[in-house]
Amino acid sequence: MNVCITVGGLGSEQVARLQAALLGHVVTICSSAPEAEKRAAVAAAEVVFGNVPAPWLNAAVGLRWVQLDSAGVDAYLKINDTPRAVPVLLTNLSGFYDRAVAEGALAGILALYRQLPRLLAAQTASCWVKTAVEPDICALDGNVALLLGAGSIGQRVAHLLAAFDVRCRFFSRTPRPGGLHTLAELASAFATTDLLINTLPHTPETIGFISRERLTLLKRGAVVVNVGRGSTLDETALVDFLDSGHLGGAVLDVTAVEPLPLSSPLWGHPKVLLTQHTGGRFPAEADRKIEVFLSNVARFQKGVALAHRVELARGY
């Protein structure tokens, strides 16, 4: 089996671990190789571990399986549009980042509620702003959170918020007991929502899902948190509603364009906290990715179903 590994940030011990586990196979680890060399390794591979530009995979005529090192799969949904003898299996890291992303979301919410960005700016400027800041400090206790998406990230966020006595409601495509399922139910829930937390993936159905019309329905002073995908949120409308005072703030780990263009008004907006898509980072992340991959290698060799297989038609 010809295996191409493109995951970045691997140390010598991790490389040795992969080589030992894949002994007997042709293994090319090209995380830091020049582009031409990396493209050639991908083209020759039967198995790719890591994210590479999706068009590169078109040249891999013998490709059988791609294990992404991300949860997002947006760029790879047309992987089987290239004719091959057998369809390529695509797996991702679904559920891999749930704890880290949930902690990042909670950190951002608490920072806004406790006015930490303003206080940190004042600290840098050696400016005492206690009197000005205190009236804007908020508490989570008794708030209502509406989570778009009921997957592992949403469930973990709700678990953390429960410790602050926040009442959480879920909206998901799949009906769940006590959850919201229809768009009418969702619309009616916006008026009593203090925290709108988006964990939705990028699919044709979710592009622009948090639209100007839906933001209009939100309770005045609500905070919008996006840890899903930037494509789901109308950022122009968000800024308009922040400026008008209709919305109280926004925590954005993801944006529609990344890196965020310098011209974006989100950079300097006093009600926006940008965490620059760092929500999924955690210690020993690379080791955990290797564990997932090698577990799936064992499944692949046995011909059994792979864990975290992406349903291309559904988009996740």
**How is the chain split into domains, by residue range?**
2-96+283-302, 98-274
Place of tokens 């008794």: 142
Strands (E), the chain: 2-5, 26-29, 47-49, 65-67, 89-91, 144-148, 167-171, 195-198, 222-226, 247-252, 272-274
> Quick one: pLDDT band at residue 89, thresholds 50, 70, 90?
very high
Cβ pair 115, 238 in contact under 8 A: no
Name the fold adopted by 98-274: Rossmann fold (3.40.50)
For residue 139, the Cα-to-chain-centroid distance in whole angstroms is: 26
- Over 90: is that where the pLDDT of 86 sits? yes
Cβ pair 123, 129 in contact under 8 A: no
> Quick one: pLDDT band at residue 176, thresholds 50, 70, 90?
confident
Q: What is the pLDDT of residue 234?
A: 98
Q: What is the pLDDT of residue 174?
A: 82
Rounded to whole angstroms, how far apart are CA atoms 138 and 132?
14
> Quick one: pLDDT band at residue 177, thresholds 50, 70, 90?
confident
Number of C-beta neighbours around residue 49 at 10 A: 27
**Which pLDDT tens digit goes with each residue over 235-269?**
999 999 999 999 999 999 999 999 999 999 999 99
269 is catalytic: no
The average pLDDT across 39-64 equals: 97
> Quick one: pLDDT band at residue 100, thresholds 50, 70, 90?
very high
Q: Which of 316, 249, 13 is nearest to 110 (CA)?
A: 249
Q: What is the pLDDT of residue 175?
A: 81
Given 17, 229, 288, 308, the catalytic residue: 229
25 is catalytic: no
| pTM of structure | 0.92
Cβ pair 202, 315 in contact under 8 A: yes
Q: For all residues of the chain together, what is the average pLDDT?
A: 96
Q: How far apart are the first and last CA of the chain?
A: 27
Q: What is the pLDDT of residue 315?
A: 84
Cβ pair 83, 61 in contact under 8 A: no
**Ramachandran assignment for 222, one of left (phi > 0), alpha (psi -120 to 50 degrees), beta (any other):** beta
Q: Which residues pair with 233 in a beta bridge?
A: 210
Using a pLDDT cut of 90, give the percent of the chain over it: 94
**Which pLDDT tens digit goes with each residue over 108-117?**
999 999 999 9
Given 64, 167, 277, 288, the catalytic residue: 277
CATH architecture of 2-96+283-302: 3-Layer(aba) Sandwich (3.40)
What 8-state DSSP symbol labels residue 82? S
Angle in degrees, CA 84, 85, 89, rounded to 5:
70
Are 2-96+283-302 and 98-274 equal in CATH topology? yes
Rounded to whole angstroms, how far apart are CA atoms 255 and 280?
15
